[in-house]
Chains A and B, each alone.
Chain A
């Protein structure tokens, strides 16, 4: 005797319920009930279960059980998977090439060329000699403790992913700033991308792409890290002083002139703040992505966890912190430079 019999009887669905039902698989509660011997005694109102899918299935065998939801989702995904990868595979192939290319480049260029090159980039971006020294010390330390290769792999992946995030994210942010409808559609998606635990991205991606391909982790990193640059580009453009926009209109600027000459330059501090966050989030994700064969310092962390090698885990963790500090300082210095150039 199930609790919700009355519901289906009342709705006149009894026949549909029992039609051709060869007893659906038993729910856990049934199993427990069975093992305790026979039907449970008549239940009081206090024991009324929530009308969940399983409880309703008790009363009506044709009503789907909760496990069929997950199974349905899985089957649904599997059935569109082939079609999806047919279309996504070629589309994302360049990502694999970029990542492979960057990894190859960062590892083939000898250290005595690579390190000065990186320092030169720091100098160009940040224009601060002190910062160059600091970065030199950090990289030097990582190299000294034989983590140079791992660090370069991580950096290579971050460069590629952050670059693509900016390349794709800034135009999306601009589009959002120009259309409220598009903004309303995009914001929930961004919220979702930002709140989903990073591991959850990996699950469908593993089904779609082979684990040996770099684009698998590339996509995971980009999806996770692109959010801030989109958000802050949108925000930055929307926050541009209304009177300045009015002046641009009053002098007859076309919307392209306005975008290029006024909105983007004035939104630049916000966009740069977005880039900074994007880079930091790429770094966080590249560690997690080592679960799906992303090379770099994350691999060492993973080894530390798997094999309980405390020292390996701690040292590589320290390496990641150093990289994070370096990336953060350099992008913040660039941001400060932009800010100084256009305070109102």
Chain B
């Protein structure tokens, strides 16, 4: 597993309004979002954001509407200019880029997928998919094959000459993804890319993304307000609230150790058996023990173990990864893990209060 950092956001602040720099002073002095709006008429979009995004991983940014997700992702390719802070991509500070360098970054290093697809309605599916290369100055015969390849890859064979409005929403977003892939950028930004789709198609698209990711290993920044989606896709999960990060880390860890009542609320409704994995609740040991009822995989969901045990809490299983024992899971522990945890004492709310 390569752990090199592809994108790094440092102390990022964004204040919307007429005089953001002046308002920044108040923010630095500790004023919160509501007061800033009331007393100075400025909106605090983002406050002291620090995130590292690893190469080849999916970083999911989750939060409710208005929490600043879109604002954050738009800082990565500078569709929005920050008020303070740094955005470092491939070791270079993007904010120091001039127009030409920035255009290069957007053309070659980052692609984007949008919530409402944002396809060009007057161009065919093939032309839409070829846009990134066309923008770079390639001729049609040069980009056609590449665009067609990615259209086929996302399951749109033979739709080349359709117009976007002739396709269903799910198919349009496939074009959006093909367009992002055609650019051959290694960072892919997805702003609520699947939120406009109905649930079944949404699941299909999530599977498509995971499947592509298996093969392409892009650095994906994915935004969603849906926890199930976040848990399904995330390697690294960042939870935003009112422009601040409340918690970030491995999704399973956040589920088992939420550090804020906000997150507890958030996760209280999900089906924990379906999202928690054996590896997160097992007892780590490579010592064999007697009386095991069988073997389960470290990445199995708890749900599948419950099914296997048929509800018998007396049983225990060996947990295997790549043929090696990595731990022991007793069904009793498993059941305990299904009960939602209260916020840890060191949560930021606790600190503040």
Chain A positions near chain B (C-beta within 8 angstroms): 241, 243-244, 246-247, 249-254, 257, 261-262, 265-266, 268, 341-344
Contacts and interface: CB of A to CB of B under 8 A. Distances in A.
B114 A243 contact: yes
Contacts of A243: 114-116, 118
A252 to B, nearest CB: 4
A343 B118 contact: no
Contacts of B120: 244, 261-262, 265-266
B106 A343 contact: no
Contacts of B284: none
Contacts of A257: 135
B106 to A, nearest CB: 4
B165 A249 contact: no
Contact of A343 (B104, B119, B121, B135): B121
6 contacts: A244-B119, A252-B106, A257-B135, A342-B165, A343-B165, A344-B121
B75 interface: no
Nearest to B105: A252
Interface string B151-168: 000000000000111000
Residue among A243, A254, A257 facing the most chain B CB atoms (10 A cut-off)? A243
B343 interface: no
A251 B163 contact: no
B7 interface: no
B135 A251 contact: yes
B79 interface: yes
A344 B131 CA distance: 18
Nearest 9 interchain pairs by C-beta: A252-B107, A252-B106, A247-B118, A250-B112, A342-B122, A342-B121, A243-B118, A252-B103, A265-B122
B181 interface: no
B104 A252 contact: yes
Interface in B99-113: 103-108, 110-112
Given A247-B118, A251-B111, A252-B104, 15 more contacts: A247-B119, A250-B77, A250-B79, A250-B110, A250-B112, A251-B106, A252-B105, A252-B106, A252-B136, A266-B120, A266-B122, A342-B163, A343-B121, A343-B165, A344-B165
Contacts of A253: 135
A246 B121 contact: no
Contact of A247 (B108, B112, B136, B163): B112
Contacts of A266: 120-122
Given A257-B135, A341-B163, A343-B165, A244 B118 contact: yes
A246 B106 contact: no
A254 B107 CA distance: 11
B114 A247 contact: yes
A86 to B, nearest CB: 43
A257 B131 CA distance: 11
B118 A241 contact: yes
B67 interface: no
B114 A251 contact: no
Interface string B301-338: 00000000000000000000000000000000000000
Nearest to A343: B165
A108 to B, nearest CB: 40
B71 interface: no
Given A251-B107, A265-B122, A246 B132 contact: no
Contact of B79 (A244, A249, A342): A249
A250 B164 CA distance: 19
Contacts of A342: 121-122, 163, 165
B183 interface: yes
A257 B133 CA distance: 13
Nearest to B74: A246
Given A246-B79, A341-B163, A344-B165, A251 B183 contact: yes
Interface string B122-137: 1000000001100110
A268 B103 CA distance: 27
Contact of A254 (B103, B112, B119, B163): B103
Contacts of B111: 250-251
A251 B105 CA distance: 9
A253 B116 CA distance: 19
Contacts of A241: 116, 118
A246 to B, nearest CB: 6
A297 B104 CA distance: 59
B3 to A, nearest CB: 28
Contacts of A254: 103
A188 to B, nearest CB: 26
Interface in B62-120: 77, 79, 103-108, 110-112, 114-116, 118-120
Given A243-B115, A343-B165, A249 B106 contact: yes
Task: Name the residue among A243, A244, A252, A342 with the largest chain B CB count within 10 angstroms.
Answer: A252
A251 B132 contact: yes
Contacts of A252: 103-108, 132, 135-136
Contacts of B119: 244, 247
A49 to B, nearest CB: 50
A343 B107 CA distance: 28
Contacts of A249: 79, 106
A247 to B, nearest CB: 4
Nearest to A268: B122
A252 B189 CA distance: 14
A249 B132 CA distance: 11
A341 B107 contact: no
A76 to B, nearest CB: 42
Nearest to B165: A343
Contacts of B189: 250
Interface in B274-310: none
A268 B79 CA distance: 26
